[in-house]
Each structure stands twice: as structure tokens, then as C-alpha cells.
Structure 1
């Protein structure tokens, strides 16, 4: 009777431990599911913030296009982007409400604060949209300066100082919640391991005490249980305990196996979810950053190109129209007069075509769509050919053109037509800004890595204060405008774009009243054969 009482007591205690362990496992599984769901909701909310930020910036960009460019297509796009913005706000609100229904009392206050934050975002967006409506109202009334000030206020204060910080704060908070959920899940797993180890030790002690009375009849199952516990304590969750028969030890072994299996599955799920979530967040963030940078670059290039065209095409178009109107009003003019007028119109058209070609080249170079036909070139021959073609121009200006080229061939990889264009620009500038009787010297030198071309004239020179401006589009110094009225100011910027596209450099040094020296540096070819004759840059 005593033995049975002790055995029953020991078994009852052991059974209680097993039930406690099962309850702990159930609780741990429930909490693990909670943390996993919490992580997913935090991720969804952070993605909603990111999408809201993207749609808001897209909508503000469309509104800026409307007030700056006054385009009908931009109005339709702004309406579509506004609908997407409202959808993003709804998704963010739904995600936040889902978090409120899912979180416990400790986090409920923080989630309710997020609803207030969403209301603040809606208020900021409404103020921004209202401000753009006021800008368009002011523009319709002709108040351009007040409209510009309102636009600057919206961009600097509403978007940069109010909207962006609150969006960044929301994303940071959601990521912090995500990290907290993952950290708590890890703590839960550690606690479960600790409880399993403690339970196993207690079970081992009880089994050892029972082994004193039951001797060899219980030694085998006890040994196996102890071995299983030790394996789990060593973090081996793949170990399983196999016991024959239908008794308390078999039941214990089965629950132990289920416990280790569930722990292994939960840990695997948590690790996988964590890795996948981090990868998705990183990938999406990089994609959004790259897309935003590309859109900004394209938009800036487009605005600059339109501004350049409208500025530079006005003068030749006005001249062509004037010639045509004067010719059309004449009734009794001689054919020779008509021919002279048409000749002037053709010359102006050629000038206009060259200007358009240079503008397109500059736009392509800035948008990374510039194409070059690369080939193996001997720089000595290229310079000789260009100098022979410009001798007549130098003689016309009563200038002496001197060439200093080494006998050894200097090999480069480049676009022959574009490099000729650069040399022609530099020689033409030297001729235009040199006094009659002067001398223009072209020097070619090379070392192991680079070839250097120097064009030196004895002209009016460039003041030191203007040297930093000569590579800006349409810039012409006062002395140059007074001495040579004609010119577009695109020559040196065009040359700089071509040289830099060839991985080279260009620089200007000048002594006012004495000389100007333009130096070009290009990489020379190694002894290896050229990989391809045609490439895109």
C-alpha cells in the first residue's frame, strides 16, 4: 500500500509537471502566434506609411507641374494621384485599426496615438492641397510673385518640415514595434527552453527516486528520458524519445516529442519570417530610393532642357519671321532681293538647326542617353586632319596656326566625329577671340596613361573672375560679348560633355590681354586589343 501510495504520489507529481509543461507550451504557442501576427501587422503598417509617402510626393509633384508648366495632362495625372493618395490613407488607417484590435493593453495607448498621427497627416496633406489651390488662384489673377512665395512655403515648410518628419516618425515607430515583437519572441523561446530544462531536471530527479524502488523495471525508460532531456538541453530539437508499451512514461515521451517538435517549428517560422521581412524591407527601401532619384533626375533635366530651348530659340525664330514678313510685304522687289532674303533665312535656319542639335546633345549627355561610336584612333592623325581643315579659317583671320605633334603614334579609344567637334570648337574660339597677326599653337603630348592636347592663342584672354563660369551653358563674358557679338555660349560646355564622356578632363587657364590656354587630357589605350568597336556611354 505504501509503495503504491508513493508511486501514485510520484506519478501524480510527474503528471502535474507534464500538464504544467503542456500548458506552458500552449501558452508559448499562443504568444508566439501573437508576436508573429504583431510583426506582420507592424510590417503592413510600415509599408502603408512608405506607400503613403510615395503617393503624397507623387501628388505634390503633379501639382507642382500644374502650377509651373500649366499642363492639362498634369491635371488628369494629379486627379489620379489624389485618388491613390486617398487609397493609401485608407490602407494606413485600416492597418492601424487592425493593430489596435490585436495589441494588448500595454500597447493600446501607443496605437491610439498613431490614429491621432494619421489625422495630423491628413491635416497636413489637406493644407498642402489647399495651398496649391491658392497658388493656382493667384496665378489666374496674375499674382505670380505671391504664388511663388506660397509655393516655396509649401515645399519648404508643409512638405519638408511637417510632412516628411511625421512620415519618418511613423515608419521608425513601426519598425521599432516590429523589432520589439521579434525580440519578445526570442525571449519567449528562451523562456520555453529554460522551463523545458527545469521540467526535465525535475522529471529526472523523480524518475531517479522511483528507480530506487522499481530498479531495472524502470531503468530503461528513465535512461531514454534522461537522454532526451540532455539532447534538448544541448539545443538538439530533432531528438525524439522512443518508448514501447502504453504507460505513463510513454505518454511523457510523446508529449516531450511534441514539445520539441513545436519548439523547432516555431523557431524555424520565426527565423524565416524575420529574415524574409528584413529582406523585403531592405529591397523595397532601395527600390523606392532608386526610383525617387531617377524621377528627380529626369524631371530636373526636362525642366532645364525646356528652359534652354525657349530661351535660345526665340532670337533666331524672331529673325526668320522678320525676314519673311519683310519679304512678304514687298510687292515690286527684284528677284535678287528675294534671293538675298531667302539666303539670309537659310543661314538663320542653319544656325537654328545647329543650336537645336547642340541643345539635344547637351540634354542627352545629362540624361545618360548619349551614344558614341567608339573606335581605335591615332590622336596624331586626328589632330593633323582637323588642323588642315582649319588652316583656311586661320588665314582668313590673318592668324598663324602652329602644330607640335610627336612622331610616335598616340592611340586612344573614342568617337572620331565628336573629338573632331571638340577640336573645331577650341580652334574656332581661338580664331574668333585672337587679334589679326597672332599665333595659335596646338601641342600634343603623352605619357604612359594619358594624352594631353593644348590649344594656346594670343588673344584677348579671360578675366580670372570668369574662368569658373566658362563651362556653364550660354555663358559669355562681357569682354567676349563686346569683342565678338555672335555666339551661343554652348561651345565649351559641349566640349566638356564630350571629353568627360570619354573619361577625360578639360581645363582653361588665361592671362587677360595676352593668351588663353585650353588643356584636354584623354586616357591612352593599353597594349591590349580593343574589346569592342562600338559602345554606348
Structure 2
């Protein structure tokens, strides 16, 4: 059974109990009002009969006094009492009629008894009237004797008994009503207790049903969801309880089966993916190893070629110089050819030196002869060796750092030559000292470089558009050589645009060495 149907039945039963209890309460209230009204009518009738009895005795006393001592007020008092008696009789008759309406025909006997009392009253009144209307003079004791006989016979024996019977009947009716009310209240109390006990029983059954149909399935549902959350699909979910929970358990089991199948498929896909990634990683590692090996071979080959080219270039340069100095018989054409050979050898030798410097740095074999040196001297020497005028700014005090003086001066000269070739006519050099580093800045007022050209400026053989498009000489190794030397010192090289236009190249060097000393150079220079 569905829990909604079951608890609907429980709710209907409880509502029925509550409705019954409410109806019983209303019925009890109405019955109490009915009893109160009946008791009130009985008590009212009892009081009216007492009043009737008292008024009759007063009336008969007035008649007796009138017979014995004469009628002093011409019967007015008797008439008033008779009127009260008539009113009382009407009130009693009205009360009895109301009782008949409440309880039925069983009160008709009271009405008949009242008629008899009324008839007796009329007969007594008639007898007293006949006694008073007799015209012959009767002796006083005779009147008293007749009056006594009338009172003892008609009034004491008949009328008084009937009035007393009516009073006893009203008193008995009051007791009967009180007894019935007490019995009904007891019955009503037992019925209320029974309804309450039945409601408590239904409530207990509803609680037990709630525990079995709702609470326990909810607990099992929470446990089952916990297993599903933990990816445990091996244990089926058995909720029990009402039909809704059993259907929900079926849905959860179906979902768990689907998730288990999907998890197995995902695990298989993951395993296959891991195998594929491992295979691709192995292939990629092999390619990286090959590339690294090729790069190392390339660097070593470049270093070896640069090293091997220095000897023949030195010989060519030396032979050309010797021939030009010692031979006075050479023709002008021959002298020009030898001069061109010497200049070309110098240029080629410079390119080879630059290539060798870069190759050694990339191989981690660039050896530096570090010494505590005043950087102002290096900057001034480089400017002195530079053919064009340079605006120099240096601190007044020494700026000392551990550097290779020759290599650093080579870097500054390369930057000055780069500014002369690709920059404007105005060149400036500035030295700044910080707490842990020093900066050497070379700036010009030329066209500068674009963002794309700045990102490629330190690549070997790269030349900017303002150089390649205007036929300016250069090998494209100046900045790479500077970068290699500066980074070998543990510093950096930065390119920035000047606010006034042009390019600003800044070398930042630590005051003390940051890098380990490079191992013994395996590429030895010759010549």
C-alpha cells in the first residue's frame, strides 16, 4: 500500500474520532441543557404547587372567618385569593404543558391530577358558598361544626392528599432527572475515555506504521545514497516500507547498475588513455632526447668550427699584414687586394670570436676572469675606444663589482656600436649603483624597435627592420654576445623605449657573484 493511502486512512480515522468526540461533546452540552430545563420546570412546578397549597389554606381560613365572625370586607379578600389561585393553576397548567412538550405524554397524569385538584377546589368553594348563603339563623356551634366537617372531609382527606401527591410526584421527577443525568454523565465519561483510548491506539499504530513505512526506509535511503556517493555499487539498495519507497529503491538500483557500468567503462577508457599517454610520452621523450642531443651537437659543432677557424684566419691576417709591410714591389692592385683580404679576415675573425663566445655560454663553458673592478673605469675605457662622442654620467665615488673587465668592456663596446649603427646621432651612457646591483645604460635617439623586434633582438643573426632595410653592416651577433656575457655574470639585459624616442639598453649586474664558477674550459683558444 502506498504511504499516502495508508496515512490518509489514519488521518480519516483520527478525523472521525475527533468529529465523534466533538459531536459527543455537543450532544452532552445539549443534553445537559435539556436536563437543566427539565429540572427547572419540575422545580418551578413544585414551587407553584406549594404556592397553591398556601393560597388554598389562606382562602379557606378567610371563608371560615367570614362564617364565624362575619364578612367584614364583603368578600374582597376571598376574591383576591381566588384570583391568585386561578393564576397559580394557570401557571401550573402552562408548566405541565411545557413538560409535555419536552418529555411526551407521561406528564398528562400531572395534568389530570391538576384538573382533579381544580375540581375539588371548586366543590369546596361551592360548599362554603352554600353554607354562607343560608338565610336561617344558625347557631354558632352548628356553623363551626359544619365548617369543621367540611375542612376535615373534603379538604384534609381529598384536596390535601391530591396536592401532596402532586408535590411528591414533582419531587420524584426531580430525583429521577438527576439520576438520569448522573447516569448519562457516567456513560458519557466512559465513552470519552473509550474514544481517547481508541485514538491513542490509532496514533500508536500510525507511529509504528510511520516507523516501518517512512523512517526506516529513509534511513536505508540515506545509507544507500552514501554508498553511491562513495562509488560503491556492489550492494543493492533495499528500502522496504511503502510502495513509493520500494519503487524508489528499484530506481536507485537501476541507477547504480548504470553507474557501475559507466564507471567500468570509464576505468577501461582511463587505462587505455594512460597507456596511450605513456606511449606518446615515451615517444615524445625520445624526440626531446634527440633534439637535446642534436642541440648539444650543434652547439659543440659551432664551438669547434669557430675554434678551428681562428687559426687559419689568424694565419691569413698575419700573412697579409707581413706582405703589406715588407713587400715594396707589389703593384697597387695587389696591395689593394691584400688590404681587402686583411680587412675581411679581421671581420671574419670578429664574427668567429662572437660565435665562439655565444657557443661557450650556451654550453656552460664561458670562463670569466672576475676581479673587484671599478665599473666607472670600464665604462670610460669603452667610451675612449669608441670613435664617436658619447654623453657619460657616472657617480662620483667608486662603483665596485666582481666582473671580468675585458668581457664587460667588450659588452659595453658592442652596445655603443649597436647604438651607432641602428640608433640616432646622440648616444648616452649612464652608470647607476644600487644596494646589491649596478646598472649600465646605453641609450640613443633613433627610431627604436617594435615589440616584435624586441622579442627577437637577442636571437643570433637577427637584425631589425631599420638595419636590414637600409644596408647597414652588421652580423646580428652583437646583442646575443652581450646577453651571453652579462648572464654569465649573473645579470640581465633589458630593452626599453625612451620617452623622448629611441632605444635604451640596460645591463644589470650583481655586485658579488651569484653563479658557480664555470668548470675548466674544454675549448681552448689558439693564436
Give the TM-score range, shorter chain. 0.3 to 0.5
Q: Which has the larger radius of gyration?
A: 2
Q: TM-score, normalised by structure 2?
A: 0.39
TM-score (norm 1): 0.38
